[in-house]
Chains A and B, each alone.
Chain A
Amino acid sequence: SQQGEEDPQALSIQEGENATMNCSYKTSINNLQWYRQNSGRGLVHLILIRSNEREKHSGRLRVTLDTSKKSSSLLITASRAADTASYFCATAPSGNTPLVFGKGTRLSVIA
């Protein structure tokens, strides 16, 4: 069963704009992770935020976590055509449970 659900399913923006994707989940978590998948490739880990953290930055990425609302958001600032990919959130209900992935958001950045 899906633990995390991303929203929107698809997003199309112009180069230079910011892109925001959201993830909602159902149970308490140990941490939440975001991954990127370029077409025809494997997933690549972007960022991990633990349940006791509220915000984390990595380069042009900003992730927030609201455990009271069971939701997270991924913000990509000043997007580039190379950011075109699918983005997945992944959660685990506890430290001894495998990660469960959502269905992903397809981001298209138009040059």
Chain B
Amino acid sequence: NAGVTQTPKFQVLKTGQSMTLQCAQDMNHEYMSWYRQDPGMGLRLIHYSVGAGITDQGEVPNGYNVSRSTTEDFPLRLLSAAPSQTSVYFCASSYDYRDNEKLFFGSGTQLSVL
């Protein structure tokens, strides 16, 4: 049972490049989400999804795009990378969104934008 798997673990981009951070879970969780973690800022929610075909914006959605075509996968796309998007990105999932059940986190993707 792998849990929440994120790839890649590390990535360096140049300003203006695009890329997709992958997230997959094998626990049949309805809810999936993306957070970014910056020093002194804690975790901030980027986008989330309560089921396949349903996505919504979090606190800091600008510059990011998501889709949820399957229950298992929730990729995060950076459309045109900027240095301000240098951060550690975490994907998290839970079984039942409606009762705010505990989140299971991936191990993170460390992204640097030069």
Q: Residues of A with Cβ closer than 8 Å to B?
A: 1-2, 30-31, 33, 35, 40-45, 48, 88, 90, 92, 95-104
22 A-B pairs (CB sep. < 8 Å): A30-B100, A33-B100, A40-B108, A41-B108, A42-B90, A42-B105, A42-B107, A43-B90, A45-B102, A48-B102, A88-B42, A88-B43, A92-B100, A96-B98, A98-B33, A98-B45, A99-B45, A100-B59, A101-B35, A101-B42, A102-B42, A104-B42
Query: Are A43 and B100 closer than 8 Å at their CB atoms?
Result: no
Out of A43, A92, A103, A104, name the residue touching B105 (CB < 8 Å). Answer: A43
**B16 in the interface (beta carbon within 8 A):** no
Q: Interface readout for B86-114 with A: 1 if CB under 8 Å, 0 if not?
A: 00001010000111111111111000000
Please give me the 7 A-B residue pairs with the lowest Cβ-Cβ distance, nearest first: A42-B105, A103-B42, A45-B102, A101-B43, A92-B100, A43-B105, A42-B107
Report how far A31 CA is from B102 CA in the complex, Å: 10
Give chain A nearest CB distance to B111 CB in angstroms.
14
**B83 in the interface (beta carbon within 8 A):** no
- Within 8 Å CB of B35, what residues of A? 101
Interface size of B as a range: 20 to 34
Give chain A nearest CB distance to B32 CB in angstroms.
11
Q: Chain A interface mostly helix, strand, loop or mixed?
A: loop
Query: Are A2 and B108 closer than 8 Å at their CB atoms?
Result: no
Report how far A102 CA is from B41 CA in the complex, Å: 8
**B53 in the interface (beta carbon within 8 A):** no
Given contacts A30-B100, A42-B108, A45-B104, contact A98 B41 (CB under 8 A): no
Report how far A35 CA is from B58 CA in the complex, Å: 20
Out of A31, A95, A96, A99, name the residue touching B103 (CB < 8 Å). Answer: A99
Q: Which of B33, B41, B102 has the most CB of A within 10 A?
A: B102
Give chain B nearest CB distance to A89 CB in angstroms.
10
Give chain B nearest CB distance to A82 CB in angstroms.
18
Q: Interface readout for B1-25 with A: 1 if CB under 8 Å, 0 if not?
A: 0001000000000000000000000
